[in-house]
Structure 1
Amino acid sequence: MEQDMRDFQATFIGIGAQKCASTWLYGVLQQCAAVKVSDIKEVDFFSYYFDRGYEWYERNFHDAPEATHRGDISPSYFIHPDAAARAAAYNPDMQVFVTLRDPVKRAFSNHLHEVRKEHISGDNLVFETAMANNPLYKDQGRYAHHLARWYDHFPTEQIHLWFQEEIHVDREASALRVTQALGLPQLEDFLDLRANESVRYRNAAVGETLWKIGNFARQNGMGRLIETVKGAPGVKQLRDANREPVRDVVAPMTADTEAALTDFYADDVAELAKLIDRTPPWERFAS
C-alpha cells in the first residue's frame, strides 16, 4: 500500500524475538551507508512508548536526512499484542525483520540475560525456579502465536525471517539478505560483529564505557578499526579481565526440563512451519 512519506518516517523495523540475533541484525544495518538505524537499538516505540507519538519516534532519525531507510530493532515488538497493528497503521509499506532460534535454547538464553542484568538472584538463579518467576521465558518462544499477528497486518513479501542457526553457518550470506530486503547493494567490507550473550562485566562502568565507544565508532564507519583495537595486546587483556561468563555461575537446565520444553513448543513449531512455509532448522522438533 503506497502512502505519502514524512521526511523521517521509518521504512523498516526489527521485531525480535529476544535473544535471537537481533544485535547482529542491528550491527549489519549500522554498516549500511544508506540506512539510519536508531542510536539506541531498542526504541520500543510501538510497544511501550506509543503514547509519545510519531514525532518523538522519528527524532531518532533526524540526524541523517540523507538516509534512504530508517528504523529500529526492538524485540518487545514481537510479543506486544498491539505492536503489529500500530506499525501497520504508521507505515503499511515497512519491511519487517524477524530473527528466531530454537525456542528451548532461547528460553535458557533469556535466563542468562536476566542473570547478567542482575534482575534476579538467590533461588531464581536456577533456571527451573526462574521460569516460574518469569512467565515470559516460555511465552516469548511461542513464535507462531506471536508472529501470526504480523502476518495479519503485513503482506508476506514484507516480512523477512532469519534463523540464528543459519546466520552462524553463513553470516555474510545472511547479511546480504538484509541489504537485499532494503534494495541496497551488498556491503563491500562486511564486518562480522558477534555479541556475547553470556558474559557480564565485573566492573559495569568499564564495560558500559567500552560498549559506548565501540557503538559510536561503528556508527561512524570505524567498525573495522574498533575490532582491530579490541584484539590488540593490553586491550584484549583488559576486556577479558573484566568479563565473567554467566554460565560459570548458572547451572544448565536439567534433561527433564529440556524434554518438557521441547514438548511444550512442539505444536507451536509445527504451526510456525505452516505460517512461514518452511521447516525451522531445529533437530529436536524433527518428526
Structure 2
Amino acid sequence: MSQDVKPRLPEFMGIGPPRTGTTWLHNVLEGHVDLPYGVKETLYFTTFYDRGFDWYARHFRYATGARKVAEVCPYFFDTVTLDRIKAIMPTCKFIVTLRDPVDRLYSMYKALRYSAEARRGGFEHTLSVWPSMAKGNRYASHLQGWWDHFGRENVLVTMYDEMRSEPQRYIDRVTEFAGIDRIDLAARPQIGDDVNAFKRAPKNRRLARKAWKFKYWLKGRQAYGAVNLLERTGVWDFCAGRGELYPPLTLEEDTRLRARYLPEVEALEELLRIDLTAWKTPRAGRSRQPSAESGSRRLALG
C-alpha cells in the first residue's frame, strides 16, 4: 500500500465471543457498511498478525469513505488483541454479544470437532483436554478489559437471546450504537438462513484436519475466492461433516456446568446489573426449553 494513501480501517467491530451469531451479524451488515473484502473475519490481530499491517489494510482497499468501515471477528477472549487494536484503531467501537455459557460451550465443542482440532470423544472428554474452552466463559473479566482499554461507552453489550427472539430490536440497537442507518430485516428474509450450526462430526478426522489447514493456508494468502468457491460447492462440509450426529447435553452434564459457571455468571450480573437467572437454571428446570441451535427465526450461529 502506498505510503501516501491513508488506509481506511474499521470504525466499529463485532468481537463475538465465538458462537454468538457473528456470521448472522456480518450478513446483516453486508451492503450497509464496508466489510473486509472477500472474507467474513480476517483474524489479523490473532492468527495473521505476523503478516503485517499492510496485509490487514488491504482488506479494506475498496472502502471509499461513503460508508463506515466495520469488521465482525470474534476477538473478545483474545487479550493480546487489546493493545494491538488500540495501537492502530484507538477510537474504534465494539459490539459484544453474550450467550448462555453452557450453550456457547457446547457449540464451541462442535466447532472444534468440525475443524478436527478436537479428537473423537464426548463433550466432557474434550473439555478436559481443551481447558481453554472453559476459560473462555469468563465474560466479566474479559469485558472489563475491553472497557479499560476503550471506555465503557464504546462497548455495546448485547444478548444472544435477544438476537434470536427479537432480531429487529437487536439490530436496531447495533445500528444506533454504530451510527449507521437502520436496517429493515423484513426486507431481507434470506438473512434468516441457518448457517454454521454444526450438526455432524467429521466422518474422517484426517481429511477434516487437512481441509482446515488448507483453508487457513488460503486465507493467509487472501485467496478468499478459492475459499468461498470451495464453500459453495460443499467441499468443506464434505471434508468436515457426514459423521455421527451430535447428541444433546444430558441433564447431568448441563447441571454440572451451570454449577461450575455460577460464580462467573454472578460476576457478570454484578458488573452489568442485570438478572441472568436463566443462565443458572438447568434446562429441565425451565418453563421453555429452546434448542441451543434453533429457534422460531433461524439465525446464523457463526
Q: When the two structures are superposed, what TM-score results if normalisation uses the length of structure 1?
A: 0.75
**Does 2:106 match 1:117?**
no
Change beyond 3 A, Cα 1:127–1:247 = farther
Q: Residues 188-222 of structure 1, C-alpha deviation per residue, up to 9 Å, x if partnerless?
A: 434433324123598999xx999936999xxxxxx
In the alignment, the residues of structure 2 paired with residue 215 and residue 35 of structure 1 have an alpha-carbon distance, to the nearest angstrom, of 22
Residue in structure 1 matching 2:160, options 161, 164, 167? 164
Q: Which amino acid in structure 1 is aligned with residue 98 of structure 2?
A: L
CA distance 1:13–1:281, shift in 2 (3 Å): farther
**Counterpart-to-counterpart distance in 1, 2:253 and 2:106:** 11
Q: Distance in 2 between matches of 1:168 and 1:243?
A: 29
Correspondence for 2:106 among 105, 108, 117? 108
Do 1:112 and 1:198's aligned partners in 2 also have CA atoms closer than 8 Å? Answer: yes
What aligned pairs does 1:57-206 form with structure 2 within 5 A after superposition? 57-75=56-74, 77-122=75-120, 124=121, 126-188=122-184, 189-191=187-189, 192-193=191-192, 194-199=194-199
Indicate if the aligned counterparts of 1:26 and 1:37 stay in contact, CA closer than 8 A. no
In structure 2, relative to structure 1, the CA distance for the partners of 1:210 and 1:37 (3 Å cut) is closer
CA offset at residue 248 of structure 1?
5.1
Counterparts in 2 of 1:121 and 1:49: CA distance versus 1, 3 Å: closer
Contact 1:198 1:246 in 2 (8 A): no
Contact 1:97 1:161 in 2 (8 A): yes
Judged with a 3 Å threshold, the aligned counterparts in structure 2 of structure 1 residues 210 and 173 are, in CA distance, closer, same or farther, namely: farther
Q: Is the 8 A contact 2:119 2:126 kept in 1?
A: no
Aligned equivalents of 2:30, 2:277: Cα separation in 1: 27
Deviation for aligned residue 1:182: 1.8
| Contact kept in structure 2, 1:11 and 1:69, CA below 8 Å | yes
Contact 2:114 2:240 in 1 (8 A): no
Q: What is the 5 A alignment of 1:44-63?
A: 44-63=43-62
**Residue 85 of structure 1 aligns to which amino acid in structure 2?**
D
Which AA in structure 1 matches 2:28? Answer: V
Aligned equivalents of 1:144, 1:67: Cα separation in 2? 36
Q: What's the RMSD between the two structures over aligned residues?
A: 3.5
| Alpha-carbon shift at residue 81 of structure 1 (Å) | 2.1
Range that drifts further, 271-280 or 142-151: 271-280
Partner Cα separation in structure 1 for residue 152 and residue 55 of structure 2:
29
Residue identity opposite 2:13 in structure 1: I
Query: 1:97 is paired with a residue of what secondary structure?
Result: strand
How far off is 1:113 after superposition?
1.3
Q: Is the 8 Å Cα contact of residues 199 and 246 (structure 2) preserved in structure 1?
A: no
Q: Which amino acid aligns with 1:22?
A: T
SS at match of 1:150: helix
Matched residue type, 2:177:
A
SS of the counterpart of 2:8? coil
Match of 1:272 in 2: 268
Deviation per residue, 1:73-100 (Å, 9 max, x gap): 221x211222122212222211111112
CA distance change for structure 1 residues 54 and 26 in 2, over 3 Å: closer, same or farther? same
Contact 2:9–2:69 under 8 Å retained in 1 = yes
What is the alpha-carbon distance in structure 2 between the residues aligned to residue 127 and residue 84 of structure 1?
Answer: 31
Question: Residue 35 of structure 1: SS of its match in structure 2?
Answer: coil
Q: Which residue does the alignment assign to 2:20?
A: 20
Q: Is the CA contact 1:38–1:71 (under 8 Å) kept in the aligned structure 2?
A: no
The superposition leaves residues 111-146 of structure 1 with CA deviations (integer Å, 9 ceiling, x where unpaired) of 111222233333x2x111111121122111111122
Amino acid at match of 2:51: R
What is the aligned length? Answer: 255
After superposing on structure 2, the runs of 4+ consecutive aligned residues of structure 1 that deviate more than 6 Å are 201-205, 208-211, 213-216, 241-247
| In 1, Cα distance between equivalents of 2:72 and 2:100 | 20
Instruction: Name stretches of at least 5 consecutive residues in structure 2 with no aligned partner.
Output: 216-224, 283-302
1:98/1:24 CA distance change after superposition, 3 Å: same
What's the CA shift for 1:279?
A: 3.1
Identity %: 26
Q: Is the 8 A contact 2:7 2:60 kept in 1?
A: no
Q: Cα deviation per residue 1:158-189 (whole Å; 9 max; x = unaligned)?
A: 11122111111111221222221221111243
Shift of 1:256: 2.8
Q: Give yes or no for contact 2:115–2:240 (8 Å, CA) kept in 1.
A: no
